[in-house]
A and B are shown apart, each in its own frame.
Chain A
Amino acid sequence: METILQGIKEGIYLILQMDAEVVQVTLLSLQVSLSALVLSALIGIPAGAASALKKFPGKRLLLNIVYTLMGLPPVLAGLLVYLLLTYRGPLGRYELLFTPAAMIIAQVLLATPIIWGLTARAVMTLEQNVYDTAVTLGASRRQASFTLVREARNGIIAALTTAFGRVIAEVGAVMLVGGNIRWATRVLTTSIVLETRTGNFSTALALGMILLTISFLVNLIIIMLEKRTFRYDNTIQIT
Chain B
Amino acid sequence: MTIQFKLHNIVKRYQEREVLNIDRLEIANGKIYTILGPNGSGKTTLLRILALLLINDQGNLEVLGEKVNWSKSQLLRLRRQMSMVTQTSYMFQGSVNYNVAYGLRKRKIPEREIKRRLQEVLEMLGMTAYQEADARTLSGGERQKTAIARALVVKPQVLFLDEPTSNIDMASAAEIEKHILKINKSWGTTIIMVTHNLFQARRLADELIFLHEGHIIEKGSMEEVFNQPGDERTAAFLRGETVF
Contacts and interface: CB of A to CB of B under 8 A. Distances in A.
Interface of A: 127, 129-130, 132-141, 143, 147, 150-151, 153, 230, 232, 234
Nearest to B160: A136
A138 B136 contact: no
Given A136-B51, A136-B83, A137-B151, 19 more contacts: A132-B53, A132-B84, A133-B89, A134-B102, A134-B106, A136-B84, A136-B151, A137-B106, A137-B150, A138-B79, A138-B80, A139-B102, A139-B103, A140-B106, A150-B93, A151-B92, A230-B93, A230-B94, A232-B93
Contact of B93 (A127, A137, A138, A234): A234
A138 B107 contact: yes
Contacts of A127: 90
Contact of B154 (A133, A137, A143, A234): A137
Contacts of A137: 83, 102-103, 106, 150-151, 154
B134 interface: yes
A135 B94 contact: no
A151 B91 CA distance: 10
A227 to B, nearest CB: 13
Contacts of B51: 136
A139 B72 contact: no
Closest 5 CB pairs of A and B: A137-B103, A136-B84, A232-B134, A138-B80, A138-B103
Contacts of B107: 138
Interface string B50-87: 01010000000000000000001000100110111010
B161 to A, nearest CB: 11
Interface residues of B, number: 27
B106 A139 contact: yes
11 contacts: A132-B53, A133-B89, A137-B106, A137-B151, A138-B83, A139-B102, A150-B93, A153-B93, A232-B93, A232-B94, A234-B93
Contacts of B79: 135-136, 138
B95 interface: yes
A140 B107 CA distance: 9
Contacts of A129: 86, 88, 90
B8 to A, nearest CB: 24
A152 to B, nearest CB: 10
Contacts of A133: 86, 89-90, 92
A174 B217 CA distance: 71
A195 to B, nearest CB: 45
Interface string B90-112: 10111100000011001100000
Contacts of A141: 72, 76
Contacts of B102: 134, 137, 139
Contacts of A230: 93-94
Contact of A143 (B53, B89, B93, B106): B106
A140 B83 CA distance: 13
A122 to B, nearest CB: 13
Given A136-B51, A137-B102, A138-B103, A130 B90 contact: yes
B90 A136 contact: no
A139 to B, nearest CB: 5
B133 to A, nearest CB: 9
Contacts of A232: 93-95, 134, 136
B80 to A, nearest CB: 4
Contacts of A150: 92-93
Contacts of B136: 232, 234
B154 to A, nearest CB: 6
Contacts of A153: 93
B82 A136 contact: yes
A234 B134 CA distance: 10
A130 B103 CA distance: 14
